[in-house]
Amino acid sequence: MKRVSVGAVQHNFSDVLRAVAAGEEVQVVKRKHVVARVIPDSGSPTREFPDFVSRSRDLFGTPNGAVPSGLIVEDRSERV
């Protein structure tokens, strides 16, 4: 558990958030009294996004050995 003064929180809020994101509880103190606790959110599940690149390769394969983004760039350059 980490204890941080109110002034330190104002000046280093990103450091406090980084510590909380790592799972640490941070107590905010003012004149040696705890006035707040910042704790990690354990109620919301982390979102995992599907792997769209692998899925497109499974569905369509890699045409002519080229990656899909390369085909898009090639198509855009032909239109100019």
Domains in the chain (CATH in brackets) are 2-38 (3.40.1620.10), 49-80 (no CATH)
Q: What is the pLDDT of residues 20-62, one digit of tens each?
A: 988 899 999 999 999 999 998 877 666 678 888 888 878 877 6
Confidence tier at 15 by pLDDT (50, 70, 90)? very high
The rounded distance, in Å, linking the Cα atoms of 80 and 73 is 11
Is 90 exceeded by the pLDDT of residue 65?
no
Is 70 exceeded by the pLDDT of residue 68?
yes
User: Is pTM, for the whole model, over 0.85?
Assistant: no
> Contact, 23 vs 35, CB < 8 A?
no
List the Cα angle 71/48/65 in 5-degree steps: 20
What three-state secondary structure class fits 50?
Answer: coil
> What pLDDT, on the 0 to 100 scale, is given for residue 76?
84
> Contact, 19 vs 26, CB < 8 A?
yes
